[in-house]
Amino acid sequence: MKINSLHIKVSLSVATMALLVVAVSAQFFYQRDYKTSFAESERSVLQLLETVQATAAIAAYVGNRELAQQVVTGLTQNDIVIGAKIFAGKEIIGQNGKTSREIKQELISISLVAPFDDKEVVGELAVVPNAALIAARARDSAMSTALGLAAQSGLVALLVLIMVYWLMTRPLSRLSGSLHRITPGDGGRLDVNRIHRGDEIGLLAGDINALLHTVEKMLEEERQLRHRVEQLETRFRGIFEDSSAGIFLVREQGRLVTANPAFFRLTGIDETEQQPRGNTDLISQVFLDGDQAKSLIKLALVSKRPHSADLRIRSDIEDTLRWVHCIFSPAGDSTTVEGVMYDVTQRKHSEARIRELAETDSLTGLRNRQAADAALQALISQTPIGNKAFAVMLIDLDRFKYINDTYGHDAGDKVLITVAERLRNLVRESDLVARMGGDEFFIILNHAGNIGIVTRIAQKILDAQQAPIEVQQGVQEKIGISVGIALYPEHGDNPLSLRKHADQAMYAVKRRGKNSFAIYEPGAEDPLMESA
């Protein structure tokens, strides 16, 4: 029989618990019976003393030593007394056996009263009990009780083991053997003895049979599901191969795992050459924005969520930029992502054209107010406060209304176009020239926070506008300009304050006679410093 069988485990458990119960119970009953037997022996000694109390009282009352000696001699003849003495007052008038000093044991004593006056104490009767005999008797009595209890407990434990074996472990062992012989799907079931059909073993066998039925049903469903999955795999493989979107699996390090034909068509990679080169960094090979693509891959792996962006890819045609919208999603493990890319080149070109039209003045080709505001805000965001990094100029044309009213709108348009061309030619490519509307222009001089540099540029702009403009055939007119200048961050740390202070400087020029420029100067009585 195996040591790890259920019957052995149950037998060992019951035996262990029985031994524990016997040990605890035997100890408890042994201590209790020992104390009880010892107390009964002491009561016997007291009863013995009470038997001779009257005789000893007479001996002590009359001082009769012979009578007292007879009493103590009679007491010591009892096996539970090994010494006795009678006191008359403080004098010993009778003594026999061992004394308490010899065996270092306490005496058991009773008082002796006068025969005719029970309130008068005439002496004391004291005995030395045979403690060793009393203790031995108490131990024998307690031991017999404990052994009887242990025998009863052992017998009960044995009967319990037999009942457990026949009613539980043996049927369970047979049930386990029958279950091991059944293969799921073969239709086999457990048979239960009619004795156990209404108890827990019968219920267990019924549940196991129900579970076997469920397992067989699940296996059949799994076979059907596997067949459907194979059909779906065939269908999805066709979608994967025929999709117009590029689909691919790539490792975090950029190594290609697999891809569909559309991916190779979009990227221009030769499918037959790429597949064996498993260590190639696909991301750097395909994307111009390789660092951004790798960041999206890491983000998808860390967050366990898809992340997407419009990315540029390399093209076989020179000077041709191709864009794809790429979605990176975690593919199940911690190092692989699934990528899906769509060609959005046409959309990006359309968006760029729409953005250009939205930010460009249709007449002059300069940036419009919206583009100028956005550029100014971006420049402020990128420039740390404390550095005189750039300046803004607000320009208004003098005599424009006169020319427009006198010669017509075509002449006015020609003036605006000419002024715009002159302004564009006088600043650097890093600077911005915009038409804010009407005859008002706006210039951002990047990296020109020095007043001397700004003054020289403003003077060049004024000088350039002195050349006449042909407004009609054979008719030329001169146009003047008023320029207001504000420096960042000295005159403002936000777009609104910079434009406001440049506007104040420009109108101050107009009040002083036009065709000049002025730099805003805060704190002065006339808050403007004018130059010409």
Same fold yes or no, 6-137 and 360-519? no
Contact 391, 456 (CB under 8 A): no
pLDDT band per the 50, 70, 90 thresholds, residue 525? very low
**Edge-first strand listing for the sheet containing 480-488:** 432-437, 440-446, 390-398, 480-488, 516-520, 528-531
| Distance between CA atoms of residues 464 and 420, nearest Å | 11
Q: Which CATH architecture has domain 243-349?
A: 2-Layer Sandwich (3.30)
- C-alpha separations of 475 from 116, 154, 411, 478 in Å: 170, 135, 10, 10
Q: Across the strands, what pairs with 12?
A: none
Counting every residue written for the chain, the total comes to 532
- pLDDT for 226-238, tens place per residue? 888 877 777 767 7
Give the separation between CA 56 and CA 73, rounded to whole angstroms. 12
Q: Is the dihedral of CA 431, 435, 441, 442 positive or negative?
A: negative
Q: Where are the alpha helices (DSSP H) in 258-397?
A: 261-267, 271-274, 282-286, 290-303, 345-359, 369-382
- Is 179:173 a contact under the CB 8 Å cutoff? no
H or E element, residue 123:
strand 121-129
Residue 212 reports pLDDT greater than 70: yes
The alpha helices in 63-79, defined as continuous H runs, are 65-76
Torsion of CA 522, 528, 529, 532, to 10 degrees: 150
pTM across the whole model: 0.46
Best CA proximity match to 84, nearest among 69, 92, 66, 96: 96
Catalytic (active-site) positions: 439
User: Where on the phi/psi map is residue 304: left (φ > 0), alpha (ψ -120 to 50), or beta?
Assistant: left
- For residue 279, what are the β-bridge partners? none
Extents of the domains making up the chain: 6-137, 193-240, 243-349, 360-519
Pick the CATH number of 6-137 from 3.40.30.10, 3.40.50.720, 3.30.450.20, 3.40.50.80: 3.30.450.20
Distance CA 450, CA 488 (A): 10
CB within 8 A of 521, min separation 6: which ones? Answer: 527, 528, 529
- Provide mean pLDDT across the span 103-108: 74
DSSP 168: I
Asked if 31 and 24 count as a contact pair (C-beta separation under 8 A), the reply is no
C-alpha distance from residue 493 to each of 313, 352, 383 (Å):
39, 30, 10
The CATH homologous superfamily to which domain 360-519 belongs is: Reverse transcriptase/Diguanylate cyclase domain (3.30.70.270)
Alpha carbons 306 and 297: distance in angstroms, whole number: 9
Quick: pLDDT tens for 214-266.
887 888 888 888 888 877 777 767 777 777 788 888 887 778 888 888 888 88
Question: Who has greater pLDDT, 457 or 156?
Answer: 457
- Asked if residue 532 has pLDDT above 70, the reply is no
> What is the residue-averaged pLDDT of the chain?
82
List b or e across 183-217, with b for residues whose CB sees 16 or more CB atoms inside 10 angstroms: eeeeeebbebeeebeeeebbebbeebbeebeeeee
Tens of pLDDT, residues 27-57: 777 777 777 877 787 788 888 888 888 888 8
Q: Give the separation between CA 173 and CA 2, rounded to whole angstroms.
A: 12
Partners of 327 in beta bridges: 308, 340
Which is higher by pLDDT, 351 or 527?
351
What local confidence, expressed as pLDDT, does residue 5 receive? 63
Contact status, residue 509 vs residue 517, Cβ threshold 8 Å: yes
Assess whether pLDDT exceeds 60 at residue 350.
yes
